[in-house]
């Protein structure tokens, strides 16, 4: 009986140690000999692929710098995530840090943690320049593309100017797929973060054929995502970001990815830093989207 109880005790201690390591990202990465970065394949200029398992972008480069500082010498493994699976993969430990285009909101904060805000986007609408669509009201009876696992169309329906405007949702599995729906004519509009729309338009076959239009549906703080209840890792990430803001490093990184030509087509997204983000560089915050849209 004593041996049985001893075995149970050892098992419980081992389970506790595994759980503790799972919530201590720095310890987990050192023990595993790698840190896993979640990346997006088509969220330019924040996070996107160049093919052959090469990922780049504003948030990817920022995360690379963070990880080099807080986990020196630990190799980075890149795992592509989608809007639908990014939160579960962070929660279950498959991904240690998600460096994509995720909005920090109150609902998500119940499941994961967010670093200090490093980009602020406005949710707007991409259309073809010949569509005649200039406002939410013009979407009546149209097909509107949205990416599975995102909140954009829900915001459109909640907007006061969307009251009584009926439209049909068509779903893309990722942002590139959603833009293809617009590009091919299967959708009349694509509602998404303006930076993603601008990136997709800039890298399209004919950028002049598209434009971003309509009312701002929501202001959304975009941030690096981590596991919840890992205060040590969040502090390390936040400390680096805070230092990068103070030193001007973040401004330079922003200029590189939003104002200068970027791969793969060497075109510029041309989205200057907005007033809200400029303010956050001076006074960093990890407040959720709800605080910006009261």
CA separation for the pair 156, 265 (Å, rounded): 31
Q: How confident is the model at residue 22 (pLDDT cuts 50, 70, 90)?
A: low
Task: Tell the CATH superfamily of the 2-118+223-292 domain.
Answer: Periplasmic binding protein-like II (3.40.190.10)
Q: How confident is the model at residue 13 (pLDDT cuts 50, 70, 90)?
A: very low
Block residue for tokens 């054929």? 209
Residue 173 reports pLDDT greater than 80 = yes
CA separation for the pair 74, 240 (Å, rounded): 17
Q: 99-122 pLDDT, tens per residue?
A: 999 999 999 999 999 999 999 988
Cα end-to-end span (Å), the chain: 61
Q: Lowest mean pLDDT: which of 17-21, 31-35, 163-167, 182-186?
A: 17-21
Tell me which CATH code domain 122-220 carries: 3.40.190.10
Domain segments of the chain as ranges: 2-118+223-292, 122-220
**Mean pLDDT value across the chain:** 90
Average pLDDT of the segment spanning 5-34: 62
Block residue for tokens 């979640």? 38
Tally of CB atoms within 10 A around 242: 14
| 161-167 LR contacts (CB < 8 Å, sep 24+) | 161/135, 161/136, 161/137, 161/215, 162/136, 165/136, 165/137, 165/139, 165/140, 166/140, 166/141, 167/139, 167/140, 167/141, 167/142, 167/143
CA separation for the pair 182, 210 (Å, rounded): 9
- Structure confidence at residue 216 (pLDDT): 84
- Structure confidence at residue 3 (pLDDT): 45
Average pLDDT of the segment spanning 199-223: 90
- Structure confidence at residue 18 (pLDDT): 39
- Residues with Cβ within 8 Å of 288's Cβ and at least 6 positions away in sequence, in order, are 104, 105, 106, 108, 109, 114, 221
CA separation for the pair 41, 50 (Å, rounded): 8
Instruction: Confirm if 179 and 115 have CB atoms less than 8 A apart.
Output: no
- Structure confidence at residue 72 (pLDDT): 98
Average pLDDT of the segment spanning 60-71: 98
């Amino acid at each position: 009986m004593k041996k049985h109880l001893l075995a149970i005790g050892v098992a419980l201690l081992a389970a506790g140690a595994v759980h503790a390591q799972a919530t201590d990202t720095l310890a987990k990465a050192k023990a595993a000999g790698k840190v896993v970065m979640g990346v997006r394949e088509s969220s330019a200029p924040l996070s996107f692929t160049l093919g052959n398992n090469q990922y780049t972008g504003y948030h990817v480069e920022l995360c690379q710098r963070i990880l080099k500082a807080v986990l020196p010498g630990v190799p980075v493994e890149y795992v592509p995530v989608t809007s639908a699976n990014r939160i579960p993969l962070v929660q279950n430990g498959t991904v240690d840090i998600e460096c994509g285009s995720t909005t920090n909101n109150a609902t998500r904060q119940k499941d994961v943690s967010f670093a200090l805000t490093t980009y602020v986007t406005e949710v707007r609408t991409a259309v073809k320049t010949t569509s005649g669509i200039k406002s939410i009201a013009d979407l009546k009876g149209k097909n509107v593309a949205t990416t599975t696992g995102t909140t954009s169309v829900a915001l459109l329906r909640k907007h006061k100017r969307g009251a009584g405007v009926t439209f049909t949702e068509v779903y893309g599995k990722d942002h590139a797929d959603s833009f293809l729906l617009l590009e091919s004519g299967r959708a009349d509009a694509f509602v998404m973060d303006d930076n993603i729309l601008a990136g997709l338009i800039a890298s399209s076959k004919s950028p002049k054929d598209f434009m971003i239009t309509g009312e701002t549906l929501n202001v959304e703080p975009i941030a690096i995502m981590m596991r919840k209840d890992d205060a040590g890792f969040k502090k390390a990430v936040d400390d680096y970001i805070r230092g990068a803001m103070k030193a001007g490093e973040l401004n330079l990184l922003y200029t590189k990815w939003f104002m200068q030509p970027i791969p793969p087509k060497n075109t510029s997204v041309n989205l200057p830093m907005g007033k809200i983000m400029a303010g956050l560089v001076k006074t960093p915050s990890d407040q959720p989207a709800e605080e910006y849209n009261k």
